[in-house]
C-alpha cells in the first residue's frame, strides 16, 4: 500500500487530502503549567520532560497567541510558502486552566488568517467535562485533534517516568473524547529504560486496537537539565542505535492500522541540549532509513494488522 510516495499514512498526506495543499503546524506556548509540576501530582514533571515542557521549538510564551503565530509563520515561511496552518498548543498541559482562559486562547488562535485547524497536547487526567464540551464545540468549527501522552502501557515504566496516571485514566479519556467525535493522537516513546523490544511492541499493539486516529512515535532523547539525564548517569541503560530504532519503527508501522495517521516517526532534540542518542540529530537520514527498510522488506503500514487482531 502507498500513501502518495510513502508506505505509511503520513500527516502530510492526510492534511493534503483534507485541505488540498501542504499545511504547516505552528508550535505555540499557551502559558500553561502541569499538575505534575504545580504540586497537584508532583513538582518535577515526567522523568523525561524538559524545562520547556517538551516544547523547545515553540514560540516564546511572553508573546500573545497572535504574535506567536505571526512569528512562527515568519520563521517557517522561507522553507514552506503556504497559506494554511494548524495552531499547535504544545508545551506542558494545554487543557490545564479555566475553560474561559482556554476558550479565549483557542479562539484567538483559530481566528488568525490562514489557521485551518487546532492541535492540543494534554494529559488524560486534565479533561473535565466543561473542557470536553469546549473541545466538542470547537471541533465543529475547525479541524481539531487532541494529543494524549501515553508513552507506554506498562505500569513499571509509568511509575519510573512519573507519568502520574494509570492506564484506566487514559482509556476513560479516549472514550470521552470519542463520544464527542474528537480525534485523538497518542504519543509513544521508544527506548524507555528497561523496556524490551517486546514491551514496546505490546504498547503499539494496544494502541492499534483502540479508537485512536493518530500516533506519534518518539525516540527517547536524553536532554541536559532533565531528571532523565541524571537517572541515565546514575543508572546507565542502553540507548537504541539508529539501526535498532529504524527496525523497531518499521515493526510498529506494520502493526498499526492503515487508517491511523502517523504524525511523527522520530523526535527532535535541541542540538545544544542533546546528550544522546546523537545520531538522532540527522533526522532526514533516519526518515530515509525508515523508507529504505520498508522497501527492503516490501512492507507497509498495516501489513500485520490482521495477525494482531487474531492474536
Is 6 within the bounds of a domain? no
Is 125 within the bounds of a domain? yes
Is 237 within the bounds of a domain? yes
Is 84 within the bounds of a domain? yes
pLDDT of residue 58: 67
Q: Which three cell numbers stand for residue 106?
A: 483557542
pLDDT of residue 22: 94
Neighbours of 285 (CB within 10 A): 13
- Of the candidates 136, 70, 63, the one whose C-alpha atom is nearest the C-alpha of residue 103 is 136
Task: Give the E-state strand segments of the chain in sequence order.
Answer: 24-28, 85-89, 115-122, 143-151, 183-190, 214-219, 222-223, 261-264, 274-276
CATH number of the domain at 281, please: 3.80.30.30
Pairing mode, strands 222-223 and 274-276: antiparallel
- Of the candidates 291, 311, 305, the one whose C-alpha atom is nearest the C-alpha of residue 259 is 305
pLDDT of residue 311: 38
Work out the pLDDT band at 310, boundaries 50, 70, 90.
very low
Split into its structural domains, the chain has a count of: 1
Average pLDDT over residues 79-108: 94
Neighbours of 293 (CB within 10 A): 18
Q: Which three cell numbers stand for residue 262?
A: 502517523
Residue 63 structural domain: 11-310
Average pLDDT over residues 118-144: 98
Q: pTM of the prediction?
A: 0.94
Long-range contacts of 73-79 (CB under 8 A, 24+ apart): 73/24, 73/26, 73/114, 76/24, 76/26
pLDDT digits (tens, 9 = 90+) for 265-287: 997 778 889 999 999 999 999 99
Is 261 within the bounds of a domain? yes
pLDDT of residue 308: 44
pLDDT of residue 72: 93
Question: What is the chain's mean pLDDT, rounded?
Answer: 93
DSSP state of 279: G
Q: Phi/psi zone of residue 54: left (φ > 0), alpha (ψ -120 to 50 degrees), beta?
A: left
Neighbours of 9 (CB within 10 A): 26
Statement: residue 309 has pLDDT above 60:
no
Is 128 within the bounds of a domain? yes
pLDDT of residue 56: 52
Is 5 within the bounds of a domain? no
Is 197 within the bounds of a domain? yes
Average pLDDT over residues 14-27: 96
> What SS3 class is residue 56?
coil
Q: Percent of the chain at pLDDT above 70?
A: 96
Amino acid at each position: 500500500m502507498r500513501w502518495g510516495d510513502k508506505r505509511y499514512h503520513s500527516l502530510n498526506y492526510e492534511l493534503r487530502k483534507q485541505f488540498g495543499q501542504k499545511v504547516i503546524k505552528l508550535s505555540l506556548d499557551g502559558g500553561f503549567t502541569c499538575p505534575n509540576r504545580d504540586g497537584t501530582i508532583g513538582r518535577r514533571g515526567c522523568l523525561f520532560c524538559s524545562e520547556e515542557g517538551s516544547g523547545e521549538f515553540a514560540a516564546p510564551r511572553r508573546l500573545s497567541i497572535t504574535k506567536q503565530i505571526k512569528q512562527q509563520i515568519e520563521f517557517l515561511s522561507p522553507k514552506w510558502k503556504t497559506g494554511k496552518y494548524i495552531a499547535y498548543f504544545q508545551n506542558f498541559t494545554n487543557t490545564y486552566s479555566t475553560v474561559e482562559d482556554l476558550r479565549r486562547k483557542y479562539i484567538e488562535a483559530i481566528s488568525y488568517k490562514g489557521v485551518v485547524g487546532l492541535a492540543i497536547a494534554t494529559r488524560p487526567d486534565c479533561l473535565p467535562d466543561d473542557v470536553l464540551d469546549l473541545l466538542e464545540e470547537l471541533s465543529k468549527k475547525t479541524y481539531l485533534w487532541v494529543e494524549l501522552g501515553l508513552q507506554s502501557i506498562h505500569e513499571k515504566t509509568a511509575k519510573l517516568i512519573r507519568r502520574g496516571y494509570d492506564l484506566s485514566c487514559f482509556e476513560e479519556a479516549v472514550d470521552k473524547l470519542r463520544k464527542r467525535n474528537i480525534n485523538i493522537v497518542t504519543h509513544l516513546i521508544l527506548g524507555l529504560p528497561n523496556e524490551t523490544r517486546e514491551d514496546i511492541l505490546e504498547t503499539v499493539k494496544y494502541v492499534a486496537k483502540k479508537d485512536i486516529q493518530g500516533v506519534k512515535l518518539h525516540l527517547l532523547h536524553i536532554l541536559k537539565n532533565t531528571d532523565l539525564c541524571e537517572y541515565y548517569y546514575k543508572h546507565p541503560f542502553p540507548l537504541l542505535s539508529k539501526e535498532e530504532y529504524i527496525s523497531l519503527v518499521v515493526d510498529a508501522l506494520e502493526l498499526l492500522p492503515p487508517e491511523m495517521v502517523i504524525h511523527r516517526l522520530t523526535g527532535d532534540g535541541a542540538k545544544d541540549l542533546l546528550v544522546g542518542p546523537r545520531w538522532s540529530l540527522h533526522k532526514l537520514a533516519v526518515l530515509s532509513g525508515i523508507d529504505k527498510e520498508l522497501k527492503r522488506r516490501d512492507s507497509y503500514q498495516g501489513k500485520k494488522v490482521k495477525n494482531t487482531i487474531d492474536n
